[in-house]
């Protein structure tokens, strides 16, 4: 059986030492080209009752092989060769492992003295020996590098790598069982030195060094097992503080707590693992320390499965209902594996374990939904096309093109106040008379409006597929002052006042995107506060862009917007221009009248459109949820600019308008919030703009 190093346990009743564990001849060595051996060994350790709670053997085996196989490893190519030997950490420490692929000339460029140059050369010898499993030679070279002088790079750019690689040699592995080399106490000290030197410039590598120090402390034998475990917990928790995405630290901390008999805290810490890292639960189920409380572990896994399934079904059940409606129009959908998998999940997935459910919901669910959605839309398009060919329906092409300057008048005419509210399809019965028509300045018919009395009821898309209900206001081109004056209360330094010209008009969604609108195109509603009329939140900038792309594709497929028009996040300039309505001032009205914010929100979001709109009819521009914008955050120019798009590159994306948890200062028209693109918060949602080709080329929405 392969030596799964994480399964080592400091049993109170005794047991093999760390060295004996590594040298145990009953455990075959793990070959790097045999990841299935690791997987088989892990699954063999699981009781049948535990396995049923976690998932099917076949699906778990496939998942685990993909994780331990070197071609899918997170390690660099050199580290891949060693990943199976160090499975105790799932390769997390090896992900740093002394910079195994940092080129020699790059390391040499960091040398500032002859002693450092000599140390670099010795480090190169050490890592080459390490890769070839010449561990004695590697350790000698590393010790020599540390003894070249006391002037090694003060910033630690080389010395932390030396200490980390030295610690890995001293800790041992299934390929390094020489008792003359293995010394967990010295390994602990070297890991700590690596963390010390790496902390300022390489905090993530320092976290992994602390993870290694925790393991080295755990496996030691010095007559004080509880003291060593507490030290191991301290190092591991510190690693997680440095890198809260280091999931291995969560597992290792839980394992050490189980070793001390702290069962409830250990299991509680595993409850908050990210969805994509739930495979760690499988690792825990096979671990010797966790098996000391096997009954509690199974009860925890069972409760967690039901809890997570309940949360998932909040999103899945409405989607499954929608798919059943689609089946009424397209019965052949019922026979597809995608529909069967999704409906099974909605009905409780009685035969699926925790990781099966999570794996499908996290990865396969979206693909199945998209496949079914596309199949249904294609079937409906074919049905309508055939009805047009037989003469049962007539295609109304709608607005195809007008001269520039007429688009604003045209769109104002299509619906009062420039709203796009029409849900009816582009087809109408062949014998129906038009309700009224629109003419251009030459008296030519540019669109025919067939009304909604008959055509909407008879020919609208079936329930659950109407993604056309987007109320949007036409925002004309213009010039305004962007930023804030120096005397504005709460003003920030990045709000430099400057003149901005927007040469093209655009449509701006009347409210932030609601959960009802989101759920029509996206299979998962991530919002903390639930309600179809509440703004969608806990969406990242990336999520919002994905939705805008899908909405654009859908509207193009259904003929609802013309070529060249697309939905997207507003630029900062578009957002502030639409919010201000060409006016100065911190808010578009009294803040308690126009915004849900910290002092009146009752610590939650509210249905969109409940506050007073601005002069252009836009609602919730201030408060309720902050709104993502398209731009990277950057410094404003001092000079006048035209159609600014923000910096080409950056670290943070901008959000505007403030949300329910923000004070008035953060809800000002000029305030610029910012965060990384994958950040999610119940305080942040988004609005959209519908923009067309540049000025001079106008193709208005068809409906």
Same domain, 125 and 32: yes
The model's pLDDT over 158-180, given as tens digits with 9 standing for 90+, comes to: 888 889 889 988 988 767 778 89
Q: Are 650 and 630 in contact (CB under 8 A)?
A: no
- Is residue 673 over pLDDT 90? yes
Mark which of 338, 364, 390 sits at the end of a domain: 390
Same domain, 38 and 147: yes
Same domain, 566 and 505: yes
Quickly list DSSP for 354-380.
HHHHHHIIIIIHHHHHHHHHHHHHHHH
Largest CA distance in the chain: 98
> Residue 92: what pLDDT?
43
Is residue 411 situated within a structural domain? no
Same domain, 341 and 218: no
Greater model confidence, 321 or 237: 237
Tell how far CA 423 is from the center of its chain: 33
The SS3 of residue 429 is strand
> Residue 432: what pLDDT?
54
- Is residue 472 over pLDDT 90? no
> Residue 238: what pLDDT?
93
Same domain, 366 and 479: no
- Is residue 456 over pLDDT 50? no
- Is residue 143 over pLDDT 70? yes
Same domain, 314 and 253: no
Cβ-Cβ contacts under 8 Å for 136 (sequence gap 6 or more): 178, 180, 181
CATH of residue 653? 3.90.1580.10
Q: Are 491 and 353 in contact (CB under 8 A)?
A: no
Is residue 281 situated within a structural domain? no
> Which residue is listed with tokens 């987007």?
470
Is residue 461 situated within a structural domain? no
What values do phi and psi take at 332, rounded to 5?
-65, -20
The percent of residues in the chain predicted with pLDDT above 90, rounded, is 23
Is residue 670 situated within a structural domain? yes
Rounded CA-CA distance 97/311 in Å is 39
CA atoms within a 13 Å half-sphere pointing along the CA-CB vector of 149:
14
Least confident of 269-273, 294-298, 339-343: 269-273
Is residue 607 situated within a structural domain? yes
Is the four-CA dihedral 572, 555, 539, 668 of positive or negative sign? positive
Q: Are 492 and 672 in contact (CB under 8 A)?
A: yes
pTM of the prediction? Answer: 0.54
Mark which of 343, 358, 390 sits at the end of a domain: 390
Q: How far is CA 506 from CA 52, 419, 495, 571, in A?
A: 55, 12, 24, 11
Structure tokens at 645: 């798009």
Q: Domain limits at 165?
A: 5-266
Same domain, 138 and 76: yes
The SS3 of residue 500 is strand
The model's pLDDT over 326-341, given as tens digits with 9 standing for 90+, comes to: 888 788 888 888 888 8
Highest mean pLDDT of the ranges 34-48, 322-336, 489-503: 489-503
Q: Confidence class of residue 659 from pLDDT cuts 50, 70 and 90? A: very high
Closest CA to 214 of 244, 235, 199: 235
> Residue 158: what pLDDT?
80
CATH of residue 25? 1.25.40
Greater model confidence, 213 or 351: 213
Residue 627, strand partner residues? 656, 685
Same domain, 179 and 323: no
> Residue 672: what pLDDT?
95
> Residue 567: what pLDDT?
92
> Residue 661: what pLDDT?
92
Mark which of 215, 237, 266 sits at the end of a domain: 266
Three-state SS string across 247-277, please? HHHHHHHHHHHHHCCCHHHHHHHHHCCCHHH
> Residue 83: what pLDDT?
36
- Is residue 73 over pLDDT 60? no
Long-range pairs of 19-28 with CB within 8 A, sequence gap ≥ 24: 19/172, 19/177, 19/179, 19/182, 22/172, 22/173, 22/174, 22/176, 22/177, 22/182, 23/177, 26/1, 27/1, 27/2, 27/3, 27/174, 28/1, 28/2, 28/3
Same domain, 530 and 667: yes
> Residue 568: what pLDDT?
95
Is residue 414 situated within a structural domain? no
What values do phi and psi take at 680, rounded to 5?
-130, 140
- From the CB of residue 408, how many other CB atoms can be counted at a distance below 10 Å? 17
Same domain, 383 and 486: no
Q: Confidence class of residue 362 from pLDDT cuts 50, 70 and 90? A: low
Q: Element (H or E) spanning 382, and its range? A: helix 365-390
Same domain, 133 and 41: yes
The count of structural domains within the chain is 3
């Amino acid at each position: 059986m392969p030596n799964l190093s994480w399964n080592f346990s400091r049993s109170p009743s005794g047991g093999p030492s760390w060295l004996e564990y590594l040298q145990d001849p009953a455990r075959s060595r793990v070959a790097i080209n045999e990841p299935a051996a690791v997987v088989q060994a892990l699954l063999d350790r699981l009781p049948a009752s535990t396995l049923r709670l976690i998932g099917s053997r076949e699906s778990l085996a496939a998942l685990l092989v993909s994780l331990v196989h070197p071609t899918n490893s997170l390690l660099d190519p050199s580290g891949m060769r060693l990943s199976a030997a160090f499975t105790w950490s799932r390769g997390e420490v090896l992900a740093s492992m002394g910079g195994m692929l940092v080129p020699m000339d790059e390391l040499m460029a960091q040398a500032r003295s002859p002693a450092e140059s000599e140390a670099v050369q010795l480090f190169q010898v050490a890592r080459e020996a390490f890769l070839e499993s010449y561990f004695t030679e590697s350790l000698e070279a590393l010790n020599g590098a540390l003894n070249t002088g006391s002037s090694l790079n003060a910033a630690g750019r080389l010395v932390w790598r030396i200490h980390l690689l030295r610690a890995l040699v001293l800790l041992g592995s299934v390929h390094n069982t020489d008792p003359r080399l293995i010394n967990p106490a010295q390994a602990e000290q070297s890991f700590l030195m690596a963390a010390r030197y790496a902390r300022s410039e390489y905090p993530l590598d320092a976290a992994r060094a602390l993870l290694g120090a925790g393991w080295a402390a755990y496996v030691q034998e010095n007559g004080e097992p509880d003291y060593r475990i507490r030290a191991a917990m301290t190092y591991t928790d510190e690693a997680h503080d440095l890198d809260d995405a280091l999931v291995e630290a969560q597992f290792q901390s839980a394992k050490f707590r189980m070793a001390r008999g702290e069962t409830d805290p250990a299991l509680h810490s595993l409850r908050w693992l990210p969805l994509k890292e739930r495979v760690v639960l499988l690792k825990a189920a096979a671990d010797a320390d966790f098996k000391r409380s096997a009954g509690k572990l199974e009860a925890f896994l069972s409760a967690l499965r039901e809890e997570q399934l309940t949360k998932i079904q909040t999103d899945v059940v409405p989607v499954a209902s929608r798919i059943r409606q689609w089946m009424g129009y397209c019965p052949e959908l019922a026979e597809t594996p995608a529909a069967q998998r999704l409906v099974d999940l909605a009905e409780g997935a009685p035969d699926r374990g925790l990781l099966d459910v999570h794996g499908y919901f996290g990865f396969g669910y979206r693909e199945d939904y998209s496949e079914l959605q596309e199949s249904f839309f294609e079937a409906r398009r074919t049905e309508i096309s055939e009805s047009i060919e037989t003469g049962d329906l007539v295609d109304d092409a709608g607005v195809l093109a007008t001269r520039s300057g007429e688009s604003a008048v045209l769109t104002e005419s299509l619906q009062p106040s420039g709203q796009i509210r029409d849900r009816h399809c582009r087809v109408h019965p062949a014998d129906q008379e038009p309700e009224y028509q629109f003419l251009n300045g030459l008296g030519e018919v540019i669109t025919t409006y067939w009304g909604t009395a008959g055509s909407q009821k008879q020919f609208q898309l079936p329930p659950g597929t109407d993604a056309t209900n987007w109320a949007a206001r036409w925002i004309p081109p213009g010039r305004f002052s962007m930023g804030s004056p120096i005397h504005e209360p709460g003003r920030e330094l990045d709000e430099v006042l400057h003149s901005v010209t927007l040469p093209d008009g655009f449509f701006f969604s009347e409210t932030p995107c609601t959960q009802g609108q989101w759920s029509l195109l996206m299979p998962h509603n991530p919002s903390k506060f639930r309600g179809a009329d509440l703004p969608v939140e806990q969406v990242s900038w990336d999520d919002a862009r994905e939705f805008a792309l899908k909405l654009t594709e859908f509207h193009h497929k259904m003929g609802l917007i013309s070529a060249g028009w697309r939905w997207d996040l507003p630029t900062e300039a578009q957002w502030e221009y639409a919010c201000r309505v060409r006016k100065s001032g911190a808010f578009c009205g009294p803040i308690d009248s126009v915004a849900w914010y910290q002092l009146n929100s009752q610590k939650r979001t509210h249905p969109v459109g409940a506050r007073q709109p601005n002069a252009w009819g836009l609602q919730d521009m201030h408060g309720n949820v902050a709104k993502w914008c398209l731009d990277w955050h950057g410094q404003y120019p001092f000079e006048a600019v035209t159609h600014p798009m923000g910096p080409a590159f950056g670290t943070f994306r901008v959000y505007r308008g403030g949300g329910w948890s923000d004070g008035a200062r953060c809800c000002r028209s000029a305030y610029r919030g910012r965060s990384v693109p994958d950040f999610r918060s119940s305080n942040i949602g988004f609005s959209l703009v519908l923009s067309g080709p540049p000025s001079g080329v106008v193709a208005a929405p068809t409906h």
